[in-house]
Amino acid sequence: MYDAFAYDESVASTYERFTNLLGKVAEADETSAFLERLSRGGCALELGVGNGRVAVPLSERGVKVEGIDNSDSMLELLAKRTDLIKAWKGDIADFSSEHRYDLVYCVYGTFTLLSRREEQIACLRSAAEALKENGVVVIEVRVPSLDGFVSGQKTTAMFVDHENTFVNAVLHDPINQHFISTILWFSGASVTRLPQRVRYVYHQELDTMAECVGLGLTERWGDWARSAFTNESKGHISVYRRTSL
Ligand SMILES: C[S@@+](CC[C@H](N)C(=O)[O-])C[C@H]1O[C@@H](n2cnc3c(N)ncnc32)[C@H](O)[C@@H]1O
């Protein structure tokens, strides 16, 4: 069945340019420095590895990185870019690996692309099981915000320069904790649609889900530069360790 929210060929073909315009490619160096510290020079597994935006600079820092993704198109982008990262097709909501890792990480809100609570818990369980004894799980998600919503909908200008305009149209489904959005990317005479559905989570629900699978919070930061997590934070990076085996 066609999945309107999958990272298909049309999303993959624009991903590098899109993330570059939003500053996410530049940010990857800081992200990988943060993750390098936690992987202690060992090995890491990225959930939703995509085109290797973070995995590639992390492996260049000497960490052995592997990755899982469910999109053939994104995995092809990664394979074209490097052969240093072993990556395979799989569902981050339900994976197992014979290998054990110092670090299992899931960044850029990828965790919230799992649209059901049960899938999010299963993802954390699989991540916990894939850890070495002193390993850590790192999750980066946005702080859910209902600012600007009127009658459950909101349209914002996300990015504008002389060539590109990103207009984001979002619907809120409070029953399922979903934001269903489409970014309309106007560039020259063309328009590209980037649809997405996320199941948002507040940090306390994330901690509770993690506790359910034997993971306890050890660090939480407001950004990759390790700024404090405050009421003003737009997102957070949460680090968990196993509390029970
Ligand atoms: C927002 S992109 C992030 C890619 C990369 N981690 C980055 O930071 O640039 C989300 C990635 O997760 C993948 N993905 C989404 N849902 C997935 C699932 N259930 N299992 C595996 N991969 C998934 C997508 O194909 C896409 O490559």
Q: Are residues 91 and 19 in the same domain?
A: yes
Q: Are residues 194 and 205 in the same domain?
A: no
Our answer on whether the CB atom of 183 is closer than 6 Å to any ligand 1 atom is no
Our answer on whether the CB atom of 58 is closer than 6 Å to any ligand 1 atom is no
Q: Are residues 209 and 225 in the same domain?
A: yes
The pLDDT assigned to 10 comes to 83
What is the residue-level pLDDT of the chain in tens, covering all 245 positions?
457 778 988 888 899 999 999 999 999 999 999 999 999 989 999 999 999 999 999 999 999 999 999 999 999 999 999 999 999 999 999 999 889 999 999 999 999 999 999 999 999 999 999 999 999 999 999 999 999 999 999 999 999 999 999 999 999 999 999 999 999 999 988 999 999 999 999 999 999 999 999 999 999 999 999 999 999 999 999 999 999 65
The pLDDT assigned to 204 comes to 98
Our answer on whether the CB atom of 179 is closer than 6 Å to any ligand 1 atom is no
**Which residues are within 8 A (CB) of 216 and not within 5 positions of it... i.e. 6 or more apart?**
210, 240, 241, 242, 243
In whole angstroms, what is the distance from residue 70 CA to residue 91 CA? Answer: 6
Q: Are residues 27 and 133 in the same domain?
A: yes
Q: Are 221 and 229 within 8 A, CB to CB?
A: yes
Q: Are residues 192 and 125 in the same domain?
A: no
The rounded Å distance from CA 193 to ligand 1 centre is 17
The pair phi, psi for residue 28, each rounded to 5°, is -60, -25
Q: Are residues 175 and 101 in the same domain?
A: no
Q: Are residues 103 and 172 in the same domain?
A: no
The pLDDT assigned to 2 comes to 56
The pLDDT assigned to 1 comes to 47
In whole angstroms, what is the distance from residue 188 CA to residue 163 CA? Answer: 6
207 part of a folded domain: yes
Closest atom of ligand 1 to 74 CA is 27
Q: Are residues 208 and 163 in the same domain?
A: no
The pLDDT assigned to 47 comes to 98
Which residue range is the domain that position 208 belongs to?
9-143+201-242
Q: Are 73 and 8 within 8 A, CB to CB?
A: yes
Name the DSSP letter for residue 229.
P
Tens digits of residue pLDDT in 8-50: 888 888 999 999 999 999 999 999 999 999 999 899 999 999 9
Beta bridge partners of 171: 153, 180
Q: Are residues 126 and 205 in the same domain?
A: yes
Our answer on whether the CB atom of 102 is closer than 6 Å to any ligand 1 atom is no
The rounded Å distance from CA 209 to ligand 1 centre is 20
The pLDDT assigned to 210 comes to 98
Q: Are residues 28 and 83 in the same domain?
A: yes
In whole angstroms, what is the distance from residue 65 CA to residue 88 CA? Answer: 12
Our answer on whether the CB atom of 70 is closer than 6 Å to any ligand 1 atom is yes
In whole angstroms, what is the distance from residue 109 CA to residue 100 CA? Answer: 24
